Amino acid sequence: MKTQVAIIGAGPAGLLLGHLLKAEGIECVVLERQMGDYVLGRIRAGVLEQITVSLMERLGLDARMKAEGLPHGGFNLADGERLIRIDIEGLTGKQVMVYGQTEITRDLMEAAAPRGLEVIYGAEDVALHDIESDLPSVTYRKDGAEHRVEARFIAGCDGFHGPSRKAIPSSAAREFERVYPFGWLGILADVPPCNNELIYANHERGFALASMRSETRSRYYVDVPLTEKIEDWSDARVWDELAVRLGPEAAASITRGPALEKSIAPLRSYVFEPMRHGSLLLCGDSAHIVPPTGAKGLNLAASDVFYACEALTAYFRRADNDSVIGYSAKALARVWKSERFSWTLTKLMHRFPDDGPFERAMQVAELDYIASSVAAQTSIAENYVGLPV
Ligand code: RFL
Ligand code: PHB
């Protein structure tokens, strides 16, 4: 098969890029290792920045998001009994949208066939070839047969564990990484949220987050040491822990219910440079990971895809190779700012095992400063709502 862009991975990055390229008249095909239901079963992001919302609008795929999503004009930082509200809307004039990654993925997936976007699920042993040439290709196996896709470009949208990033020689790359000494234990339940806005809590027992998917579905997290096993966390234990860490006011409003999903995700900060090598462009988690504290992962995937689409459109419309060459620097400038924000918020809101009284005093001082300074709150608000693309 021949196409203009071979996209590896049908997560949000790959599907968004596929739709955007298709809308620009650029031929592409998306290769996904898993089956569609498996991709939809991953419970991940919940908070969308303007860039993600605007890409769905541009594609005309925003109807369900507008009908079912919850626009939020603020969120809260809790420290013991103190609650600091960050008035995102008042400070920036913008809102974030609470709408699950599962729903975005479903909207993109369902629109694929009607719009002629070919997505091949169950593609095994995906391998990249000749990425330093102008005619790279991707091979895969499906139903026992070998297939080859020849393209002008490959877009690596295959997440942190996919083969794309690994195809770039280490001599041409640089990695930056920080692994955190805890993970987030998440629980999803069909119960009303305890608060109408998100609460990020720093409690002496650890971090907690109260989030939601709708007015009847809640998503909560607590941080746990990496040694914890999910089997040791009954639903009751998770609810008890949330009630303590979120503080008395939120605790009084928590409705308990059976977990629809419960899992532990490790936290990591990671950046791979450059995000382009030869004819391969990396987008989303394949090139970078942020700890979920800033709600930035999916949104960074969206901004990468925005820049990648711009670069590929310039190439195919005007034979402008400079924008392809400039892709990495443009995307990384935004990636690093989101890395900084996610890391800062993670440090501010978690109790690290090696931290002593000094580090805790720094957290308290910073939270005091945030509580009393419109400038500090504005900085948090503009990062949370999303920096300009
Ligand atoms: P994905 O979603 O991992 O999709 C990659 C796709 O590539 C496929 N793949 C392959 N396909 C073919 N061949 C192979 N060999 C392949 N290997 C892998 C995979 O099956 C998959 O379908 O990456 P993408 O598209 O870059 O999207 C990134 C986002 O998923 C991620 O950044 C966010 O979920 C992060 N994240 C959050 N982001 C936000 O913006 N806001 C949030 O509120 C937020 N909360 C979260 C999060 C991530 C979490 N976890 C579990 C990591 C909360 C959590 C708990
Ligand atoms: C979520 O609802 O899953 C969520 C919300 C905010 C975050 C991370 C995850 O920062």
Where residue 303 sits, what CATH number does that domain have?
3.50.50.60
Instruction: State the closest ligand 2 atom to the C-alpha of 296, by its place in the atom list counted from 1.
Output: 10
Give residues (CB < 6 A) around ligand 1: 8-14, 31-34, 39, 44-47, 101, 123, 126, 157-159, 161-163, 184, 186, 265, 284-285, 292, 295-299, 301
Summarize pLDDT for 17-26 with one digit per residue, the tens.
999 999 999 9
Summarize pLDDT for 125-155 with one digit per residue, the tens.
999 999 999 999 999 999 999 999 999 999 9
Protein residue whose Cα sits closest to atom 6 of ligand 2: 295
Instruction: State the closest ligand 2 atom to the C-alpha of 295, by its place in the atom list counted from 1.
Output: 10
66, part of any domain: no
Instruction: State the closest ligand 1 atom to the C-alpha of 12, by its place in the atom list counted from 1.
Output: 25
The residue whose CB lies within 8 Å of the most ligand 1 atoms, and thus the one to mutate among 298, 300, 338, is 298
| Predicted local distance difference test score (pLDDT) of residue 132 | 98
- Ligand 2 centroid vs 61 CA: distance in angstroms? 22
Protein residue whose Cα sits closest to atom 7 of ligand 2: 295
Asked whether residue 81 carries a pLDDT value surpassing 90, the answer given is: no
pLDDT confidence bin for 44, thresholds 50/70/90: confident
Q: How many domains does the chain have?
A: 1
Protein residue whose Cα sits closest to atom 37 of ligand 1: 45
Question: SS3 of 69, please?
Answer: coil
Q: Buried b vs exposed e over 95-111: b needs ≥16 C-beta within 10 Å?
A: bbbbbbbbbbbebbbeb
Q: Is there a catalytic annotation at residue 221?
A: no
Answer yes or no: are the C-beta atoms of 15 and 105 closer than 8 Å. yes
Residues near 94 by beta carbon (within 8 Å), at least 6 away in sequence: 50, 88, 385, 386
Residue 155: both structure tokens together: 């877009």
Sign of CA dihedral 166, 19, 37, 232: positive
- Ligand 2 centroid vs 46 CA: distance in angstroms? 5
| Predicted local distance difference test score (pLDDT) of residue 43 | 78
Summarize pLDDT for 161-183 with one digit per residue, the tens.
999 999 999 999 999 999 999 99
Asked whether residue 45 carries a pLDDT value surpassing 90, the answer given is: no
Asked whether residue 286 carries a pLDDT value surpassing 90, the answer given is: yes
- Ligand 1 centroid vs 193 CA: distance in angstroms? 24
Q: Is there a catalytic annotation at residue 277?
A: no
The residue whose CB lies within 8 Å of the most ligand 2 atoms, and thus the one to mutate among 209, 293, 338, 384, is 209
Asked whether residue 213 carries a pLDDT value surpassing 90, the answer given is: yes
Per the structure, the complete domain to which residue 118 belongs is given by 5-50+99-177+268-346
Asked whether residue 41 carries a pLDDT value surpassing 90, the answer given is: no
| Predicted local distance difference test score (pLDDT) of residue 146 | 98
Answer yes or no: are the C-beta atoms of 174 and 288 closer than 8 Å. no
55, part of any domain: no
- Ligand 2 centroid vs 45 CA: distance in angstroms? 6
262, part of any domain: no
43, part of any domain: yes
Asked whether residue 80 carries a pLDDT value surpassing 90, the answer given is: no
User: Of the ranges 38-42, 175-179, 184-188, 381-385, which one carries the lowest mean pLDDT score?
Assistant: 38-42
pLDDT confidence bin for 108, thresholds 50/70/90: very high
Q: Residues 336-365: what's their mean pLDDT?
A: 97
Asked whether residue 204 carries a pLDDT value surpassing 90, the answer given is: yes
Asked whether residue 240 carries a pLDDT value surpassing 90, the answer given is: yes
Q: Is there a catalytic annotation at residue 296?
A: yes
Catalytic member of 99, 140, 200, 307: 200
Q: Is there a catalytic annotation at residue 274?
A: no
377, part of any domain: no
Protein residue whose Cα sits closest to atom 23 of ligand 1: 159
Instruction: State the closest ligand 1 atom to the C-alpha of 286, by its place in the atom list counted from 1.
Output: 26
44, part of any domain: yes
Mean pLDDT of the chain: 97
Give the number of the ligand closest to the Cα of residue 47: 1
Residue 126: both structure tokens together: 């995906």
Q: What is the DSSP string of 249-316?
A: HHHHHPPP---SEEEEEEEEEEEEE-SEETTEEE-GGGTEE--GGGS-HHHHHHHHHHHHHHHHHHHH
169, part of any domain: yes
pTM of the model: 0.97
149, part of any domain: yes
Residue 276: both structure tokens together: 């382009």
**pLDDT > 90: percent of the chain:** 96
Catalytic member of 180, 203, 292, 307: 292
Protein residue whose Cα sits closest to atom 40 of ligand 1: 298
pLDDT confidence bin for 42, thresholds 50/70/90: confident
